[in-house]
Amino acid sequence: MGGMAAHWFTYQYAVPFCGRAKTLVTLSNAEGESVLISPQQNTAQDISLFMPRELTVSQGDRVRFTRSDTDRGYVANSLWEVAGFTEDGAVRFRQGDQEKIVDPQKATEDRHIDLAYTLTAYGVQGASERFVIALFGAEGGRKRMATLHLFT
C-alpha cells in the first residue's frame, strides 16, 4: 500500500461508461486512453471513485479532507478552517497552529475536500469527534422530526 499511495494521483480517470450488467467499468484518462476494470475481480488496484463538483468556500468555513494522502499530510475526516486565500487563488487552511495551502484549481490531489458542518454516518466511519448529534431512521415519530424539526 505504501508504494501505491505514492503513485495514486498519477492515474486520474473519468468513468464515461458502466456496462448495463455492471460487470465492467470503463475508465478513461486525460489523454483519452481507456482501461476496463471488473469491480468484482479487482484486487490488485486501489481505486477510489468520486464525483467532482464545484465547492465555494469563504474565510471561516469548516472543511475536511475526504481522502488521506500521507505525502501531503492530509488525513481523511480531519477538520480545518478556511483561514484565507493566497494572491494566486489558493486556499489557506488552519487547524490550531498548523496551516496548509491547497490549490484545487491547479492540483487534482487537492480536490478531495468538502464542507464539514454535517456528515453522514457513512462519511464519519473511522473519524473521531468529541460530540455528536445523530438521528437514525425516519419511521414512526422520527418521521416528523426528520422532515419538520430538523430544518426549521
Residue range 89-109: average pLDDT? 92
> What are the φ/ψ torsions at residue 10 (nearest 5 degrees)?
-65, -30
Per-residue pLDDT tens for 60-77? Answer: 999 999 888 888 889 888
User: Distance (Å, rounded) from C-alpha 30 to C-alpha 16?
Assistant: 12
For the chain, how long is the longest CA-to-CA vector?
53
Residue range 115-132: average pLDDT? 70
Identify which of 65, 54, 60, 58 has the alpha carbon closest to the alpha carbon of residue 119: 65
Predicted pLDDT at 96: 94
All three cell numbers of 71: 505525502
- Determine contact, residues 64/114, Cβ cutoff 8 Å: yes
Q: Give the predicted TM-score (pTM) of the model.
A: 0.61
User: Distance (Å, rounded) from C-alpha 94 to C-alpha 115?
Assistant: 14
Instruction: Report the first-to-last Cα separation within the chain, whole angstroms.
Output: 46
Better pLDDT: 19 or 55: 55
Per-residue pLDDT tens for 9-43? Answer: 445 666 666 666 667 777 777 777 887 777 776 66
Predicted pLDDT at 93: 96
